[in-house]
Amino acid sequence: MNFKTFALALAATAATTLALPAAAQFAKPEDAIKYRQSSLFVMGQHFGRIGAMANGKVPFDAKAAQADAEVIAALSSLPWTGFGPGTDKAAPTKARPEVWTDQAKFQDHAQKFQAEAPKLLAAAQSGNLDQLKAAFGSAANSCKACHDNFRAR
């Protein structure tokens, strides 16, 4: 293969890769389901730890809260690629069919949560418990709104 052929092949590969639907990032639908459940589970763990502080169940530890919020901010964009086409029932899932039949609304909920995550991080970085409580409440509402609409009970 000469350089020009190689460059063309490389460009074609890059274009194809970029154009691939999110589901194609996973070897199989089960992987996409595991991926979204794992990232949501990890966020849930750290969100719960912040919640325990926000609700006075454990003493406020500003450094711990910041570390928790960093994890959430880093992971907040991840789960959504795991909800691609064909990932509605390849493994046990609480995701309701509406995730796929009402994509616009689902993506809107996902966006709202992703907008909350950096605000939660900023509040945690402030070291101010009242700010953290407010940001936690707002973020929790975005979790709940999506769960109420798109997660099976």
Q: How far is the CB of 90 from ligand ASC (least distance, A)?
A: 23
124 near ligand ASC, rule: CB under 6 A? no
123 near ligand ASC, rule: CB under 6 A? no
What is the spatial distance between Cα 30 and Cα 137, in angstroms, rounded to a whole number? 33
Q: Which of 28/94 has CB closer to ligand ASC?
A: 94
Concatenate the DSSP letters of all residues of 91-114 into one string.
S---B-THHHHTHHHHHHHHHHHH
140 near ligand ASC, rule: CB under 6 A? yes
Could you tell me which residues come within 8 angstroms of residue 57 by beta carbon, excluding any fewer than 6 positions away?
Answer: 51
94 near ligand ASC, rule: CB under 6 A? no
What is the spatial distance between Cα 88 and Cα 104, in angstroms, rounded to a whole number? 16
- Which of 51, 79, 82, 84 lies at the binding interface for ligand ASC (CB under 6 A)? 51
